[in-house]
Each structure stands twice: as structure tokens, then as C-alpha cells.
Amino acid sequence: MQRYTAERTPDSADQIWIVEHPPVYTLGLNGKREHLLANNGIPIVDSDRGGQITYHGPGQLVVYLLADLRRLNQGPRQTVSLLENAAIATLSQYGIAAAARPDAPGVYVAGCKIASLGLRIKRGCCYHGISINNDMDLGPFRDINPCGYPGLQVTQLADLGVNIANHELAVPLVHQLLKAIEP
């Protein structure tokens, strides 16, 4: 992502990457290590995205948006909202009522975080993106203050009665993103 963003030109295509990570904690640029509450052996990777600490692991859908925000006429806050709204619309297709919070980026269901996001913007282009907890071991979240919020509870689609594979969840999420960014 970093290399693609550094080397892109005004004519470079925007990209959406769909991934699933092995167990890892990522710490954003302003992340504080004190939000790691216990050393459980899961590696910690310093990331150049915004935000604090989060957990990524198998069963979590991660979608990275590599986009020229100038070309899309989007600012940073608009891009955060675009990602949040795409996740909210996707979850609604599965009967899940979700919402964004103005005080804490991400997507929430009944006060529990189901999707986290973090972006990095360089030269008018963004990278990193959003992760949605689908069907994963949520235990590692207990060893951190998710996104820097002590006591923040997390949830996932599987716990809300939706049992789908990550590649199935990716389809409506990417569709919502494309709908939002295509002219």
C-alpha cells in the first residue's frame, strides 16, 4: 500500500484490496502501547494508519481503499464516513442495525464495535481502510483497549446470527464502496 501510494501518478487506478490477516495487533501512528493490557504472544506491528490499537485475525474481513481523494473530491472525514456508511449499508442487508458514532470512528451495533477503520493520507491519496468482525475469535480484543477505548466491547456477525464466509461479506461491502466512489 505504501509503495503503491508513493509511486502512483494522477492517472493511477484506485484499488480496493480484500485481505484476511493472521493474528496481529496493529498500533496506529498515535497509538499508545499502554492500550495493550496483556502480552498474549500475538505480534504487535506499528502501522502508519490513524487510530490506536486494534486486533486483526482470521475470520475478520479487511478491505483496504487505495484512492486518489482529490480525484474523488473527498476529504479525510468524508472518506471515513464513506467507509462507515458502506459497512452500515452492508450490515443492513443482513438485518443488522448498525450506526457510526461522531465521537469514535467505526461502526457499532447496540454499543459494541463491529467494524474498525483507520486511514493514512499522503499526497492526496488514502490507503488502509476498514475491518469488519465476521466470524473470528474475539478473545484477543480482551487484551487491549480496542481503538484506545477502555472497556469497549466488540461483536461480530456470527454472534448476531449471520453465518457467512468473508468472501461473501466482501461482495456487498465492495459494492457499497464502489457505489459511493464511482461518478
Q: How far is Cα 174 from Cα 8, in angstroms, rounded to an integer?
A: 22
Q: 125 an active-site residue?
A: no
Q: Which pLDDT band, with edges at 50, 70 and 90, does 72 fall under?
A: very high
Which residue in 45, 50, 38, 112 sits closest to 83, CA to CA?
50
Out of 112, 125, 126, 147, which one is annotated catalytic?
A: 147
3 is in an annotated binding site: no
The response to whether 164 counts as a known ligand-binding position is no
User: Could you read off the pLDDT of 133-168 as tens digits, one per residue?
Assistant: 999 999 999 999 999 999 999 999 999 999 999 999
pLDDT-derived band of residue 183, with 50, 70 and 90 as boundaries? low
Is 129 known to sit in a ligand binding site?
Answer: yes
Q: What is the pLDDT of residue 159?
A: 98
Whether 99 contacts 88, CB under 8 Å: yes
Which pTM was predicted?
0.96
Percent of the chain at pLDDT exceeding 70: 99
Query: What does the pLDDT read at residue 182?
Result: 81
C-alpha angle 39-18-2 in degrees, rounded to nearest 5: 75
Query: Can you tell me the distance from the alpha carbon of 25 to that of 27, in angstroms, rounded to the nearest whole number?
Result: 7
2-181 CATH, one of 3.30.930.10, 3.30.1490.100, 3.40.50.970, 3.90.320.10: 3.30.930.10
127 annotated ligand binder:
no
